């Protein structure tokens, strides 16, 4: 039985490592996008798509100027299309949280 105990420990350890890697990969896809790049909808660069990202886009739209990070679709202007992209990304991230 003692020979089996270390094998069980190794198997449990391996399963925890696989679970950890799966969660890490899932978080990277969520935050970084499928290509491993930072998601452009993360306007404030905090690694999460939140209401603060939508607020930042709204402020830039209202004031007529602001950081180019708010131009999510890179069309040279910050407008409702950018807000729509960030809003959809936020909704998707929230949906993933509830389905997790």
Alpha carbons 38 and 79: distance in angstroms, whole number: 21
Contacts of 69 (CB under 8 A, 6+ apart): 40, 43, 44, 45, 56
Alpha carbons 98 and 7: distance in angstroms, whole number: 36
- Please tell me the class of the 38-100 domain: mainly alpha
| Alpha helices for the chain (secondary structure H) | 4-32, 51-63, 80-99
This model's pTM is above 0.95? no
Q: Radius of gyration of the chain from Cα atoms?
A: 20
Tell me the mean pLDDT in the region 2-24: 71
pLDDT for 40-83, tens place per residue? 899 988 888 999 999 999 999 998 887 788 999 999 999 999 99
């Amino acid at each position: 039985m003692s020979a089996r105990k270390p094998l069980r420990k190794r198997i449990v350890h391996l399963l925890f490592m696989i679970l950890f890697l799966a969660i890490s990969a899932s978080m990277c896809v969520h935050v970084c996008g499928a290509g491993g790049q930072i998601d452009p909808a993360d306007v404030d660069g905090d690694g999460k798509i939140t209401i603060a990202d939508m607020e930042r886009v709204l402020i830039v739209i209202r004031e007529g100027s602001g950081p180019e990070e708010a131009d999510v679709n890179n069309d040279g202007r910050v407008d409702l299309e950018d807000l729509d992209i960030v809003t959809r990304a936020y909704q998707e991230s929230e949906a993933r949280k509830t389905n997790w």
